[in-house]
Amino acid sequence: MEKTLQEMTESVVQFCTDRDWDQFHGPKDLAIGLVTESSELLQHFRFLDEQRAQDLLQDSDKREAVGEELADILFFLLRFSQRNKFDLTQAFYDKLQKNTAKYPIEKSKGR
């Protein structure tokens, strides 16, 4: 299922509107939610070496749990950007351009 960023954002808005959650979704609350969900993703990998982390992703139940955490993170990211009028696509490409200048290939490749 291929959805655009805008379509996903609209789904998040509808979900939250249906539940009257705008009152709970100020910038601080959404930032806290984003960090909390990111921490829940990290819990799956904490204290694992690279091989064990890769092995974890081969287990279908654990992979599904990691995917759910990624979805929660995306939900909060989309909601934060929507509520605070950030154009995520533009922000992404602006930051990529800055990182391209900051980390030129000839100085960064393999390092």
Report how far apart, in Å, the C-alpha atoms of 101 and of each of 88, 94, 98 are: 20, 11, 5
CB atoms within 10 A of CB 62: 13
pLDDT tens by residue, 63-75? 999 999 999 999 9
Q: How far is the first Cα of the chain from the last one, in angstroms, to the nearest whole number?
A: 36
Give the pLDDT score at 1.
Answer: 84
pLDDT of 86 higher than 90? yes
pLDDT in tens, 27-60: 999 999 999 999 999 999 999 999 999 999 999 9
* Sequence letter at residue 111: R
Percent of the chain with pLDDT over 90: 98
Q: Count of CB atoms within 10 A of residue 88's CB? A: 15
Q: Among 2, 7, 80, 8, which residue's Cα sits nearest to residue 38?
A: 80
Q: Does the pTM exceed 0.75?
A: yes
